[in-house]
Structure 1
Amino acid sequence: MDYLFPPEPAASVGIVGRSEQFPVRRIYCVGHNYLSHIHETGRDPDRESPFFFNKPSDGIVSDGGSLPYPPATASLHHEVELVVAIEKGGYEISTEAADEHIFGYAVGIDLTRKDLQQVAEDRSLPWTAAKAFDRSAPCGLITPKAECPPMNAGRIALSVNDRPRQDADLKEMIWSVPEIVSYLSRMFELKPGDLVFTGTPAGVGFVLPGDRVTASIEGLAPLHIKIEDAD
């Protein structure tokens, strides 16, 4: 096939203990999945159904990577999250069958232009500018599910310059991983290469140029990134 210009290479994430890369197709994110985070934002919890937003696949930043402080914001926030890597596609997947579609898990950081998110919420506008900007989806190495403990409990934490910011347990999630996969597959046909960020606990806060951010989840490879000066 001939293209008008060379297409961008596919985004990918490394896999623990393997030379292959996990090619990223789409990135889905769950909003408000920890009661502690909902409370710190001043909202009321709602368990009727989860809601989702997207990030671009080329928003991936690998472990050990750095990113420039993004434009159009004065309040860049970190949100540590469990990431689910999908290897088997499907539509209307049951919660009982969800595990069959999962390749593995990773630690992710949902970077957010918080000031733009607040404007969007105040005006009932989409979150695109706040969530889907360049390099907004750092993601660590994926651990195949057979090599990690069940991801229904375990410490999830984040520090900035070695100072703790977020510290919680995966069991505090409102929506479990199987429930998230099932609900998401009712609205979109999931396909191999999809990543699902599953929400963040309390303790989100701002980062500045020069900050070193470390995110971790018990049983998974940690994620390290650095915030550089703006381009």
Structure 2
Amino acid sequence: MSDSLFSLPQTPGIPVNGESATYPIGRIFCVGRNYAAHAAEMGNEVDREAPFYFTKSAPNAILSGATVPYPPGTENFHYEMELAFAIGKPVFRADSGQAWDAVYAYGCALDMTRRDLQIRERNKQRPWDLGKDVENAAVFAPLTKVDGWSPDDAKRIHLSVNGEVKQDATLEELIWKIDEIICHLSGFYHLRPGDLIMTGTPAGVGPVVAGDVIEGGIDGLDPIALKLSEAE
């Protein structure tokens, strides 16, 4: 095999509680409008016939605790607190039992969004990539394996900016649950280890600026944090 012409930036592996090895990031799938209150605050209705998705590029992923510059091309950069789960074995056209069996671990995540660009592109019926697939905009906290945590409805999901609570909900508000997402998504893709699925954000999203500190959590999981520095 010939040598590569150049080296690509290395995608970080996500720490896993109880493991010395990290979870490598392959693909990142994101469920859109999976909390009714968030869909409403964005002026949208929920499609209850089936979930829908967008993707983020693995090289744009970073780990909790990072400080990153405010991104270019936007004046309305939003936080979105989410539950993420990691696939641990191949699964295709799964039923509910196979779906649960394919989950390896859970973790807190942030889906950072150039909201102005997302809305502009959406209104023109164009893809959301400029708004969603942003450098440093898929943030992951350490993962907890399935034997150490479960996505019970009563668990709280929350986010604060500079110590002020902005998002506060429970996982009961998820429209499409973990197994339903896997059953549906695996009808279109051969899901495999390395695939991460971000399950959507509750109501309360809003803008952040350089200097802001974002902190979030879900009961029983490692918390997540991100700080924004001045734009480059």
Specify the TM-score bucket, using the shorter chain as the normaliser. over 0.9
Moved more, 150-159 or 207-216: 150-159
TM-score, normalised to structure 1, is 0.97
Q: How far has the Cα of 1:152 moved from its partner?
A: 4.0
Secondary structure at 1:219's aligned position in 2? coil
Secondary structure at 2:120's aligned position in 1? helix
> 1:56 corresponds to which residue?
57
Q: Does 1:149 align with 2:150?
A: yes
Moved more, 58-67 or 74-83: 58-67
> 1:125 corresponds to which residue?
126
Q: How far has the Cα of 1:23 moved from its partner?
A: 0.2
Q: Measured at CA, do residues 169 and 84 of structure 1 come closer, stay the same or move farther in structure 2, by a change above 3 Å?
A: same
> 1:27 corresponds to which residue?
28
Q: Deviations over 1:5-49 (max 9, x none)?
A: 224334321112322110000000000000111111122222000
- Report the residue type matching 2:107 in the other structure: A
| Conserved 8 A contact 1:152-1:176 | no
User: Which 5+ residue runs of structure 1 have no aligned equivalent?
Assistant: none
TM-score, normalised to structure 2, is 0.96
Q: How far has the Cα of 1:151 moved from its partner?
A: 4.2
> 2:209 corresponds to which residue?
208
Which consecutive segments of 4 or more residues in structure 1 shift more than 6 A?
none
| Conserved 8 A contact 1:214-1:222 | yes
| Conserved 8 A contact 2:87-2:193 | yes
CA distance in 1, matches of 2:127, 2:146: 34
CA distance in 2, matches of 1:177, 1:60: 21
> 1:190 corresponds to which residue?
191
CA distance in 1, matches of 2:125, 2:108: 30
Moved more, 151-160 or 77-86: 151-160
Moved more, 193-202 or 53-62: 53-62
After TM superposition, list the pairs within 5 Å mapping 1:44-193 onto structure 2.
44-193=45-194
Q: How far has the Cα of 1:174 moved from its partner?
A: 0.5
> 1:37 corresponds to which residue?
38
CA distance in 1, matches of 2:154, 2:191: 25
CA distance in 1, matches of 2:83, 2:229: 24
- Report the residue type matching 2:196 in the other structure: L
Q: Report the number of matched residues.
A: 231
CA distance in 1, matches of 2:88, 2:211: 36
User: Which 5+ residue runs of structure 2 have no aligned equivalent?
Assistant: none
CA distance in 2, matches of 1:102, 1:38: 26
Secondary structure at 2:217's aligned position in 1? strand
CA distance in 2, matches of 1:216, 1:20: 23
- Report the residue type matching 1:138 in the other structure: V
| Conserved 8 A contact 2:34-2:46 | no
Q: Deviations over 1:65-94 (max 9, x none)?
A: 111100000000000000011111121111
Q: Deviations over 1:137-195 (max 9, x none)?
A: 01100011101133444100000000000000001011001001111111111110110
